[in-house]
Amino acid sequence: MAWDVTVPDTYAESHISNTAREAGAAVNRASASNTSSHIFVPVTVEMAGTWGQSAIELVQEIGKHITTVTEDTR
20-61 tens-digit pLDDT: 888 878 877 777 766 667 777 766 665 666 777 887 888 899
Confidence of residue 68 (pLDDT cuts 50, 70, 90): very high
Q: Are 10 and 48 in contact (CB under 8 A)?
A: yes
Nearest to 50 by CA among 18, 74, 30, 26: 26
Does residue 70 register a pLDDT over 60?
A: yes
Q: Are 23 and 51 in contact (CB under 8 A)?
A: no
User: How far apart are the C-alpha atoms of 7 and 57, rounded to whole Å?
Assistant: 20
pTM here? 0.43
Compute the CA torsion angle 42, 47, 50, 56 (nearest 10 deg).
Answer: 50
Q: Are 26 and 20 in contact (CB under 8 A)?
A: no
Which position has the higher pLDDT, 19 or 57? 57
